[in-house]
């Protein structure tokens, strides 16, 4: 699989040059492909890397669980209480609150697939805030933080629509894009005080 990533990233580095893409259209595929190429090469050659680089590359990382090495050392009694609570209760999710145990990786992958399917069908501009709110609610993040993240995600998607001319407001099944200019115009009208 790493060799496949290596070959595909090399293709995406070379293809824009061969196909004579405009300079501004080359940037994203070449930068992304460069990151994938370097990462794949490091993973492929990890057994031959020097010590510090080997430990950085070969270290096992899970994006769904917390890393206990980053936790600041506290008093022994407090740590014991936290460990007992974590073992007793498991992860603090909305499912665990109601007695359902769902593997975090399964939850993350299944909701990501659902997000992409819903984004394809209805447009990412409309699905992104709902996905972020649902995800943060599942992990019982402070609702204010969840709303802030949803707003930030929506702004990022809107910037993609505006500056990269990506049709993320258009779904393949449901097209709400005619509503977007109306919503934006009425919002700017409200912000200006109705003038």
pLDDT at position 52: 79
Is the Cβ–Cβ distance between 16 and 29 less than 8 Å?
A: yes
Question: Over the stretch 94-152, which tens digit does the pLDDT of each residue have?
Answer: 777 777 787 777 888 888 899 999 988 888 888 999 999 998 888 888 889 999 999 99
Compute the distance between CA of residue 111 and CA of residue 115 in angstroms, rounded to an integer: 6
Percentage of the chain surpassing pLDDT 70? Answer: 74
pLDDT at position 71: 46
Q: Give me 33's structure tokens.
A: 């492909």
pTM of the model: 0.52
Reply yes or no on whether the pLDDT at 50 is more than 50: yes
Domain boundaries, the chain: 1-60, 82-194
Reply yes or no on whether the pLDDT at 12 is more than 50: yes
Is the Cβ–Cβ distance between 12 and 29 less than 8 Å?
A: yes
List b or e across 68-81, with b for residues whose CB sees 16 or more CB atoms inside 10 angstroms: eeeeeeeeeeeeee
Reply yes or no on whether the pLDDT at 77 is more than 60: no
54-63, 66-75, 80-89: which is most confident: 54-63
Compute the distance between CA of residue 100 and CA of residue 111 in angstroms, rounded to an integer: 16
Compute the distance between CA of residue 110 and CA of residue 170 in angstroms, rounded to an integer: 23
Question: Over the stretch 79-96, which tens digit does the pLDDT of each residue have?
Answer: 554 445 444 445 677 777
pLDDT at position 41: 87
**Mean residue pLDDT across the chain:** 76
Compute the distance between CA of residue 131 and CA of residue 22 in angstroms, rounded to an integer: 35
> 25-39, 47-61, 89-103 — which is least confidently predicted?
89-103
């Amino acid at each position: 699989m790493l060799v496949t990533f290596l070959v595909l990233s090399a293709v995406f580095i070379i293809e824009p040059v061969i196909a004579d893409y405009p300079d501004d259209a080359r940037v994203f595929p070449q930068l992304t492909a460069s990151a994938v190429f370097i990462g794949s090469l490091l993973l492929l050659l990890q057994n031959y890397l020097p010590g510090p680089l080997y430990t950085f590359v070969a270290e096992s990382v899970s994006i769904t669980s917390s890393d206990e090495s980053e936790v600041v050392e506290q008093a022994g009694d407090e740590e014991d209480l936290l460990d007992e609570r974590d073992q007793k209760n498991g992860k603090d999710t909305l499912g665990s609150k109601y007695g359902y145990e769902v593997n975090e990786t399964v939850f993350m992958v299944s909701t990501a697939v659902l997000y992409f399917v819903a984004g394809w069908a209805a447009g990412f501009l409309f699905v992104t805030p709902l996905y972020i709110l649902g995800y943060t609610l599942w992990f019982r993040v402070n609702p204010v933080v969840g709303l802030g993240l949803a707003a930030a995600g929506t702004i990022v998607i809107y910037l993609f629509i505006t500056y990269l001319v990506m049709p993320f407001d258009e779904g393949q099944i449901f097209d709400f894009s005619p509503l977007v200019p109306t919503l934006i115009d009425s919002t700017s009208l409200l912000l200006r005080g109705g003038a």
